[in-house]
Structure 1
């Protein structure tokens, strides 16, 4: 089976042609590295010089495509060249092949070649000196080091710098990717937070407006219509106030008007009074103290959304709101009559339960909402437990 060599790179073709042309030029003018008659020259004459020259040029074609094959072939060409009068072009091409073998070869080859060429240079110095006992014999090792060890070491240095640059670029790309992921997650989290705030602030008032406007349209009674319009106006004003607060948050305080304060648990009484004005029979039993601001806001929104759902979906009857500050947490329970209503009094999207569950999860709390059976019949019960330990004031919901 024939071995198919890889296709050479364009730059390598130019390098091979330049080396071959330079070698032919020096061969044409009779310039060699050794004079005829030396003991090491086994092949006299000018023509034997061309064989290693062409072989080295052919190896240059593979300097990057197959660096191991190229350096092995170059080594054979260099040994052959030493048995002739020699060509400087062959020596120069071999140094490039050694450099390319370290730079473009495998990591194992890049580690081994400098050691191999270094040991070969030492041996080429010590062995001739031990045999001939003349200082000039050490120059053989110097020549071997210049031809092999120097380009191999240079290739290793360049390769290390290249690998370090690629690693730095990779780290920069990974850092940029992580930053983009963090930015995307931050934007997603902020959008979810604003969606919860918008739903909790507007849904309660719009649900009351929808219910009372339906009553005003369905009942031909002036007093009932007037009462419904009064409730509609109150909820409209409160909804606008909440929207202004949200706009103030979005503009980061750039609005000329001071946004309304963030609701707290102390506002639950006002919230329950508003629910009663909207037609709910609500009782509030709250006992708490020293609750962090993030927990206060989450608890207030959970109660607010529970009352909104009760207004839209609950059967006639009493709605109970219970808050208790226990060791390590704030427990919330909102129960409303369940069943007996075919359709809701106002349309809903189902996002309220999702928002309440998200608020509890952001504080590492628990949330559940499901029907239960009790002495007073079937109830829809919303339960949440919000931890109040290890909660910093800087957390946002």
Structure 2
């Protein structure tokens, strides 16, 4: 607290310089006027000293310094006067506008202008000579000019501060955008990695468990074949993902993302993986509309089918697993249904990340998704995943 009450070093320098200059002028016998009420030269040192002391308050108490300085300036007019007192007073006027509250910064220039006009008119009416206009010039230089200069400096400082705040806000927003972009990219990579690998690893887990638990050479051979195929396919998918991650600085063409044209191969592979679990996988492509789909829609639809088939491999009871596609002019419908219930044989564990990933993909495209017992199924034996994806191209996906 004590440190904050100390005057600024620049204020101390101004006060010392002003007082020293005034003493030098006094010692040289240079005064601004003569024939005043207090004609002794030493009396002019009183308002000089007071004004110099008020310079120490120009930042912390600018309005108080200006008020007391005005009294000192008036007192100086009854002495032989000092130019240093007048110059320091103009600095007090300037400081009151620059460092004072906003209301004072607005009122002081108006007040000094009115005082200048009033004094000009008063002196001209009193002496009635053109030289009285010099009073207007002198008063304006002492009162209005420093106030107007203070307004200009204050406006420039406030503009600079506003520009700095805008720059800080822009930098903050840019950092927030960067963090959001990184988070969104990490989420996208997590979805891609989960959807690509989970299907193959689930099949590997189920068939490896079967090979270990069933002591039959034929069963083990079939399971090892499925394991090998899913290992090869999983490695190929991982290589594709790694290639995508390295493409930002590469000159080659980007790797092709899976599309609905690859669903036949996906369904065939899912059928081979789940045959030992008593699942039969079929594809019913009932799209009425033809024509290309936006790439994000194709990828999202493919991943939804892939993840649904992976979940069926993990959890579905023996029975049919149906994949249905439908399309109108505005919406692509993806539906995967399977028998829900207990089934014999090994199961792969699930974390629930697949359903979260599907919902995120659909939300990014502005679609809807439902996952649960099929409507109208009183026994809750059919588990259905149904997603509706808008097919009209948007300005920016996600």
The TM-score normalised by the length of structure 1 is 0.92
Q: Distance in 2 between matches of 1:95 and 1:256?
A: 69
2:350 is aligned to 348
- SS state of the match for residue 181, structure 1? helix
Spell out, residue by residue over 1:109-151, the C-alpha distance to the aligned partner (whole angstroms, 9 max, x if none): 1122222212222222222122212121111111111111111
C-alpha spacing 1:143/1:324, structure 2 compared with 1 (3 Å): same
What is the 5 A alignment of 1:178-193?
Answer: 178-193=173-188
C-alpha spacing 1:185/1:269, structure 2 compared with 1 (3 Å): same
Q: Distance in 1 between matches of 2:251 and 2:152?
A: 63
Spell out, residue by residue over 1:301-348, the C-alpha distance to the aligned partner (whole angstroms, 9 max, x if none): 001000001101112221111211134211222111112259971122
| 8 Å Cα contact 1:242-1:260 kept in structure 2 | no
1:93 equivalenced with 2:88 (yes/no):
yes
What CA RMSD, in Å, does the superposition of the two structures yield over aligned residues?
Answer: 2.2
| 8 Å Cα contact 1:324-1:331 kept in structure 2 | yes
Spell out, residue by residue over 1:163-183, the C-alpha distance to the aligned partner (whole angstroms, 9 max, x if none): 111111111111111111111
Consecutive unaligned residues of structure 1, counting only runs of 5 or more, are none
Consecutive unaligned residues of structure 2, counting only runs of 5 or more, are none
**Quick check: 119-128 or 68-77, which moved more?**
119-128
C-alpha spacing 1:259/1:85, structure 2 compared with 1 (3 Å): closer
1:323 is aligned to 325
1:380 equivalenced with 2:383 (yes/no):
yes
**Quick check: 147-156 or 91-100, which moved more?**
147-156
Q: Distance in 1 between matches of 2:53 and 2:349?
A: 82
C-alpha spacing 1:60/1:271, structure 2 compared with 1 (3 Å): same
| 8 Å Cα contact 1:294-1:395 kept in structure 2 | yes
C-alpha spacing 1:140/1:365, structure 2 compared with 1 (3 Å): same
Aligned residues: 387
1:269 is aligned to 264
1:160 is aligned to 155
**Cα offset, 1:390, TM superposition:** 4.0
Residue of structure 2 aligned with 1:363, choices 343, 346, 365: 365
C-alpha spacing 1:116/1:333, structure 2 compared with 1 (3 Å): same
Residue of structure 2 aligned with 1:117, choices 112, 115, 123: 112
- SS state of the match for residue 33, structure 1? coil
- SS state of the match for residue 321, structure 1? strand
The TM-score normalised by the length of structure 2 is 0.91
| 8 Å Cα contact 1:8-1:61 kept in structure 2 | yes
- SS state of the match for residue 85, structure 1? coil
- SS state of the match for residue 256, structure 2? coil
2:66 is aligned to 71
1:236 is aligned to 231
1:301 is aligned to 303
